[in-house]
Amino acid sequence: MRKILLITTGGTIACPDTDENRTPNAFLNSAEKLLEKLENLPENISIESVSPFCRDSTNMSPKEWTELAVLIREQYENYDGFVITHGTDTLGYAAAALSCLVKNSRKPVVLTGSMKPFSEENSDAPDNLRNAIIFAADEKSCGVVVAFDRKIIDGRCAVKTRTDSVCAFESVNEIDFVGGETQFFDRMDERLSVIMLVPGAEPPVIPEDTRAVIVLGFGTGGLPENEKYQKLLDELVGRGVYVIMSTQVLRGGSNLSLYEVGERIINKYPVADAGKMTVEYASMKAMWALAYSDNFDGFKRLFLQ
């Protein structure tokens, strides 16, 4: 018998079937309601449940995802796999965060949700939840993943690319898996800012307590050759803020050494290149690395490992 812990946190899957003003409902968020209409599950699966949250995923944050990681750690030896129902708006960030907090998991941690409420006709919820449970119960499964629209996506690569379709998630920029012992972490430092370059626009003001900044540049990375952006980097580095260069382009990743506008930054400033990390994964990994380092070299090593 394969034992699964179902962790419900709200989201559209737990919303009533209405056309507007949807919000998760505690009654609909219960495992009993989510499982009562689920058919064709293998007989060798035993499911227990816990409901730590019932929220629109817009209101979820690293604080809640850290609590989920602690819950999984506490129950890790009692179950063969874990399924988390979660709203889709921040599900990619949740999967990225848990990929950092439950590292090299030898057991599956599967996040899923739906674009339509469970009670709505032709909802994608039953199919997504069923597939998540089946994957979590497979003895060959491992790691943090997203189960959605009959796909299993590496939690580090899951990105929501549609707001109006049940095929809402895609795998972006596959990352090599390097094995190791399962490790649990229970801290994330949210003092991170993310800025996106816009041609001609003024650079934003970065809060004084910021410890790291992700700069979403153009193409493979780099900054425009003008005084205001050079001044921004001078100010950030001078304040001891860790700078991560990335890209606003969805696929392919950043590569600062490819063009002179990027190579110039590498030669002048201590920066980290996010490479193929999605914005979701880069931001969550930066928060994790901030919590477990006390200087830039240590931060960069953790961020890039």
Please identify every residue annotated as catalytic. 12
Query: Any alpha helices (H) in 196-253, and if so which ranges?
Result: 227-238
Distance, in Å, from the CA atom of 282 to the CA atom of 107, rounded to the nearest integer, reads 23
Distance of CA 104 to the CA centre of its chain: 15
Percentages helix, strand, coil for the chain, rounded to the nearest 5? 30, 20, 50
Torsion of CA 275, 276, 278, 283, to 10 degrees: -30
* Residues in CB range of 64: below 8 A, 6 or more apart: 9, 52, 53, 55
Distance, in Å, from the CA atom of 140 to the CA atom of 57, rounded to the nearest integer, reads 30
* Residues in CB range of 39: below 8 A, 6 or more apart: 126, 130
Residue 254: φ, ψ to 5°: -95, 155
DSSP class of 213: E
Distance, in Å, from the CA atom of 87 to the CA atom of 59, rounded to the nearest integer, reads 10
Do residues 64 and 123 make contact, with C-beta atoms less than 8 angstroms apart? Answer: no
Pair of tokens at residue 125: 């919820």
